[in-house]
Amino acid sequence: MTQVSSSRTPRRGRVFPEIQLSPEEKAKRKADDEIFYKRCRTIFDRVQPELIKNHYDWFIVIEPESGDYFIDVDENVARAKAGEKHPDKLRLIMRLNESGTCGRI
């Protein structure tokens, strides 16, 4: 049996090293994400006690600008419902449980 050897060295570093964000841009994006999450979490905290009774562990997709939310037992169906009404908007998906998380780490 012949052994195949490779002299190729693995690449190290960034895929696109020319694309670098400044620390200010990183901070701005992080702040924007936090504001978006807080707006979504406010809506979730308002509707969660009512919905958790009959829809425990269902998925909820929240669009914070309009305050709309869409629930379904299937994640893809919930995303599709939200995408039909708000196709170009940023949305957050959560789970209707005590913490709102969708999985375990």
Using a 10 angstrom Cβ sphere, with 0-12 exposed, 13-18 middle and 19 or more buried, the burial of residue 62 is: buried
Q: What is the pLDDT of residues 20-72, one digit of tens each?
A: 889 999 999 999 999 999 999 999 999 999 999 999 989 999 999 999 999 99
In a domain, 12, yes or no: no
Residue 4 inside a domain? The answer is: no
Confidence grade of residue 105 (pLDDT, cut at 50, 70, 90) = low
Tell whether pTM > 0.85.
no
CA angle in degrees (0–180, nearest 5) for 54-36-15:
115
3-state secondary structure at position 82: helix
What the block records as the tokens of 13 is: 């570093």
Residue 100, domain member (yes or no): no
Look up the domain containing 45 and give its range. Answer: 23-95
Domain count, the chain: 1
Domain assignment present for residue 6? The answer is no
pLDDT of residue 12: 74
Is residue 104 in a domain? no
